[in-house]
Structure 1
């Protein structure tokens, strides 16, 4: 480890990004430990291959998985968080936390790695090169996946029900042909095991593109009713497979969530985890709330 100005750099032998399998629904993998360092009374552990979904640097909507790390013949160590780090493939320098966020915005050629935050009093200073088993907490993963799928379905419903408030030629459309208000206006998304909250800003640029802000906000209760009515009446119940592809690859690779709605193949870029069939959803309900610069969408998804 070395201190350079105010930037903390960790020296490692890691030169490649982590291969991740969460997109395909994996909950367990055997892997080789590539780096370990003390962190806040526990350990920060890197492996070459992981089923764990880490919180993203660029769009931290879905929190990191929890679970366990187990060495052969040993007791499981709790993984209490999972983050994204960046490693320089030429020097092996690892950046974490604020340094990683800043570097991710710089355009530098870095590799993304999964940072497993391990709570353990065991000295892991000599575990590099050892094989280990990584197990994701299944109930938490299932709950987050359910809510994340609900986010996408609710966003498509928002686009449909807000389409009439565009007064000019519509901007980019979603896969169903409606103006993509979700993509144009969302500024923040937060997903937990029971709900999601998305924040939307309706600023001058959106109004110049032809979105009637005042009419939309004044009709917010009606839009909420229309969304809930649509969500009760269509899309849920029948078997509708959904997937994230590719199911395996480097952490910084592009991933796409896709399903079929109204007979149309829908594809949305997404680096999170999801349920594999919309029939697993019993109900999606939404609430819309005006805020100073726009509105908030709260989505609750209940499974079967």
Structure 2
């Protein structure tokens, strides 16, 4: 099987393609097509959930990343060369995008469909839109949090594209996109202190106000959002861009997004510390505003 071509970076939610392979996924069936609009769960940074929808009229109950090793990759990564075995999700033994591997979108169904059949692929557009809004809001919140915490660094850290110390990248432990929002967890332990961040005396209410004020301004600016898409392959290194009033922001990203910040309506965050104060959780949510 050749790598799946994907159209979700262009915002597509429908397509038609031929089934080129089928693999078992437990008691279920994994269907691979030549080209798909479905966004699968990424196996290395599973932040955005898989799309929902149908393939050939069947419900897609899950959508995961798969990889099959070629001869060179098998020798390098320890898989059987030319075995044709498709690895799924966390079982993939290769680095994302490693040469010599074919990277697949695997649509999981309860019922099989025959290889070679041409099928319609239809993504749940409402669910996709909610995830896209949540993902854009997540990036904006991360940049705003960087700005709000900029004066808490004793050393010169790496900077984000807006010129602020990149707390988000230095401290992120996990990120999960949810419909119309996200949940991000940051480590505040020894490693971050060694990098020069001071967590003592953190006034969460003040930080929340600063972040939400920035978010209000960025949403009101109706700034354009785009994805730089270097190719149609699943593992192409895509980059999110947003032309904010504060500058051109960019973040590597394999997810989906809205086309302008004004589409978000209103975005706000809440912050909470763990009981031992070694982690910080940011919950981002958006509420659409009626245009009546």
Matched, 1:160 2:151: no
1:10 paired residue number = none
Change (3 A) 1:106 1:35: closer
When the two chains are superposed, the root-mean-square deviation of aligned CA atoms in Å is 1.9
In 1, the alpha carbon distance for the partners of 2:206 and 2:107 equals 44
Runs of 4+ with deviation above 4 angstroms: 105-109
Offset at 1:29? Answer: 1.4
* Runs (5+) with no aligned partner, structure 1: 1-13, 71-75
How far apart are 1:41 and its partner, in Å?
Answer: 4.6
Determine which of 181, 189, 194 is the counterpart of 2:175.
189
Aligned equivalent of 2:204, options 220, 238, 250:
220
- Residue 199 of structure 1: how far off its partner (Å): 0.5
Match of 1:300 in 2: 285
Q: How many pairs are equivalent? A: 276
Q: Secondary structure at the match of 1:249?
A: coil
Q: CA deviation at 1:93?
A: 2.1
1:10-49 matches, within 5 Å, as 14=1, 16-49=2-35
1:94 aligns with 2:77: no
Matching of residues 42-121 of structure 1 within 5 Å:
42-70=28-56, 76-90=57-71, 91=82, 92-100=84-92, 102-104=93-95, 109-120=100-111
Quickly say closer, same or farther: Cα 1:251–1:53, change in 2 above 3 A: same
The 1:112–1:37 alpha-carbon spacing in structure 2 relative to 1, beyond 3 Å, is closer
The farther-off stretch of 149-158 and 242-251 is 242-251
Q: Which residue matches 1:261?
A: 244
For structure 1, which segment, 152-161 or 91-100, has the greater mean C-alpha deviation from structure 2 after superposition?
91-100
Tell me if the contact between 1:28 and 1:135 (Cα under 8 Å) persists in the aligned partners.
yes
Match of 1:237 among 217, 220, 226: 220
Deviation string 1:49-102 (CA, Å, 9 cap, x unpaired) is 1110000011001100011112xxxxx1111211111111342321114422x4
1:109 is displaced (CA, Å) by 4.2
CA distance in 2 between partners of 1:151 and 1:220 (Å): 18
TM-score for both structures, normalised by structure 1:
0.85
The 1-side partners of 2:180 and 2:61 are apart by 19
Contact 1:21/1:248 (<8 A) preserved: no
Per-residue Cα deviation, 1:214-268 (whole angstroms, up to 9, x for no partner): 133xx12221122122222x11134322111217511011000001012522111
* Distance in 1 of aligned mates of 2:45 and 2:29: 25
Could you list the runs of 5+ residues in structure 2 that have no partner in the other structure?
72-81
Find 1:146's aligned residue among 133, 136, 145. Answer: 133
TM-score for both structures, normalised by structure 2 = 0.89
